[in-house]
Amino acid sequence: MTMRTLLVSVLLTLPLLSPLAAQRLAAYGPGNGAIVELQPPMNALQAVPAAIPPVLGYATVPILPAMPAFGDSTYDNVLGHHWFSDGLSLAAMPSPTIPPVGPVPPAVPISPAVLLITGGPVTGIAFDAVAGIMFLCGPVGPVVGVAPTPAMPIVVPPFAIPWVTGPIAGLDWDGATGTLLAVDVAGIVFTFFPGGGPVGAPVAPPFPLAAPAGDVAIDRTLRSNPAGFRPLYVAYGGSVVDIMDPQPTVFSAGPLATEGLAFLNFPAANPPNSTCLCPGTTYPGPLFTTGPMTVGNAAFGLGHGGLPPGFPMLFVFEVTGLSNLSYPWINAVGCGLGLVPGSPGLIPVGVTADGAGNAILPLGLVGPTLPLGTALYLQGATFCPGDPFLGLVFTALHTVYVASV
């Protein structure tokens, strides 16, 4: 029986019992010329959700000229391109954690015609990755949709954002609903269709922000926060908060003064971005993916590196949403056991490491086997002579979602 046949047979008979969470955000600071990747607090992975320090930071390539109070970022969860802007240019680069599916586009200046529409340097960008449309806006100007190419042709005519009372600080695209989101400097978020049709009422943060907002990003896993809403993250100063949570946990973007925030379709982990090595070895390395964790990505796969070529590794999926947040140490090395032994939703799949020492499990994110919104836990194990009890080492517990664009 194949991995996909196993998954579909169990998913059709066992409903998900609890909400999971799997996400990574990327904060962009034009003044720093850097991106910092963050993992928000997760109820499914942390017994007591608390702030998690940034898990990864790196310089942008290229580094655009800094323009205080301007700029934004967004992410192409189809091709794996992180777009960013200083207000006058658009550039793209991959995340070190997600290999790009196609060539990274070159940096391009925002055309004078577009800057005339936006009223000067842009403060918001959002990318519809399916249609290939980049939406841009300035602090008070309208939104316009362009093709992010050197000629920058206009494909969606300019339109006003409904309700706005303050300067706009950032944009985001929600591929699950086909809507845009804008945040003003007070952290109030407005949702609307391309063309300007309003969707719902504006959403204000649960407390006054300590600094002007820089950007907004919506959770693409389609999961709910403890209040029953999709998380909606707003960056301000060097902090990020889910404004849809009445009792949110504020977490740090590190040293960045954030003007951009983007949602990356990448599995979350506990411990975050961890390496749980077998003593005296280089395995298993941190989880990696072969592309964005996005619905329709038939080439999606995940794996661990650092193993001897041909070495076996066991991936165990949990499809009922059960986990053990105490992470008991049933062996002496690696990470604790986050799965629940004996659960009827456990699906083991064995693989062997390739010539480069990578144990990769293909997991095409296509329906009906793995439709949008499917959620899975995942933990790996392999032989470890340094463990005196079971002779095994466990990886961190990960959550895998079939996420939207």
Tokens of 211: 């600094």
Region 20-29 average pLDDT? 79
| pLDDT in the model for residue 214 | 96
Q: Report the candidate in 199, 211, 258, 203 with the shortest Cα–Cα distance to residue 231.
A: 203
Is residue 21 very low, low, confident or very high in pLDDT (cuts 50, 70, 90)? very low
Report whether 370 contacts 7 (CB < 8 A): yes
Of 96, 110, 126, 117, give the one whose Cα is nearest residue 64: 110
pLDDT band at 65 (very low <50, low <70, confident <90, very high): confident
pLDDT bin (cut points 50, 70, 90) of residue 69 is: confident
DSSP-based three-state secondary structure for 139: coil
**pLDDT score of 399:** 92
For position 16, what pLDDT does the model report? 31
Q: Residues 385, 109: contact at Cβ < 8 Å?
A: no
* The pLDDT of residue 251 is above 80: yes
Contacts of range 162-167, beta carbons closer than 8 Å, 24 or more positions apart? 162/190, 162/192, 162/196, 162/197, 162/198, 163/190, 163/198, 163/202, 164/190, 167/123, 167/139, 167/140
Task: Report the distance separating Cα 131 and Cα 241, nearest Å.
Answer: 29
Cα 71 from chain centre? 20
Which residues fall within 8 angstroms of residue 254, CB to CB, at 6 or more apart? 27, 36, 53, 54, 57, 238
pLDDT at 274: 75
Give the confidence band of 50 by pLDDT, cuts at 50, 70, 90.
Answer: confident
Q: How far apart are CA 99 and CA 299, in angstroms?
A: 12
pLDDT digits (tens, 9 = 90+) for 139-162: 998 999 999 999 999 999 999 999
| DSSP-derived 3-state class of residue 115 | helix
The full set of domains in the chain, from first to last, is 3-13+269-401 (no CATH), 24-266 (2.110.10)
What average pLDDT does the segment 313-332 reach?
91
Dist CA 363 CA 39 (whole Å): 23
Q: Which parts of 120-276 fold into alpha helices (H)?
A: none
Q: pLDDT tens digits, residue range 352-378?
A: 999 999 999 999 999 888 999 999 999
Give me the residues paired with residue 143 across strands.
159
| Dist CA 183 CA 164 (whole Å) | 9
Q: Mean pLDDT, to the nearest integer, of 314-343? A: 92
Q: What are phi and psi of 10, to 5 degrees?
A: -80, -40
Buried b (16+ CB within 10 A) or exposed e, 311-321: bebbbbbbbbb
- Using DSSP's 3-state secondary structure scheme, residue 136 falls into strand
Q: What would the two tokens of residue 112 be?
A: 């004078």
3-state class (DSSP) for residue 10:
helix
Residue with tokens 């709910």: 224
Whole-angstrom distance, CA of residue 361 vs CA of residue 313: 10
Element spanning 11, H or E: helix 3-11
Sequential DSSP letters for 159-207:
EPPTT--S-EEEEEEETTTTEEEEEETT--EEEE-TTS-B-S--B--SS
Each residue of 105-114: b (16+ CB within 10 Å) or e?
Answer: bebeebeeeb
Strand partners, 36: 27, 57
Please give the Cα distance from 155 to 259 (Å, whole number): 25
CA-angle at 200, arms to 199 and 205, nearest 5°: 115
Residue 211 has pLDDT above 70, yes or no: yes
Q: What is the pLDDT of residue 357?
A: 98
